[in-house]
Amino acid sequence: MPAMLDGTIEKPIKATDSDFIRILPFLITAGVIYGIYYTQKHKKKVLNLAFSSFLLILLGYTTYIIVILRAHDNPPLNMGNPSTTQAFVDFMERKQYGEQPSI
C-alpha cells in the first residue's frame, strides 16, 4: 500500500478515466451497507462487527480526500500543494517543515 501512495507501483495502471473506477467506491460502500444489514438480520455478530469496522475505516479515510480536492481547487493558501500523489505523501509526512532537531 505505501508503494501505491508514493506512485512507485510495478505495473502502471491507466484507469484514471474509467467509469468503473468512478463507480467502485459507491459499489463497495453499498456492498458493505448491505453486508451490515444482512448480518444484523441473520444475527451474525462477528461478520457484523467486521463490516461495521470496515465501514468506519472507509469513513475515516475519506477525510484525506478533502485535502486532495481542496488542493485541486487552487486556494490562495495551499499548504504543501498536495495535488499529486507524491506531493500528498510529502504533505502527510510533513516534509514541508524540514527536519526537527532531536533534543
What are the pLDDT digits (tens) for 52-95? 999 999 999 888 888 888 888 888 887 778 888 888 888 888 88
Residue 4 lies in a domain: no
How far is 100 from 19, CA to CA, in rounded Å?
44
Q: Is the pLDDT of residue 14 over 70?
A: no
- One domain for residues 57 and 67: no
Residue 10 lies in a domain: no
Contact 85, 6 (CB under 8 A): yes
Number of domains in the chain: 2
Contact 70, 91 (CB under 8 A): no
Residue 88 lies in a domain: yes
What residue numbers bound the domain in which 75 lies?
A: 63-95
Q: Is the pLDDT of residue 1 over 70?
A: no
How far is 100 from 60, CA to CA, in rounded Å?
28
- One domain for residues 22 and 49: yes
Q: What is the pTM of this model?
A: 0.62
How far is 42 from 44, CA to CA, in rounded Å?
6
- One domain for residues 31 and 56: yes
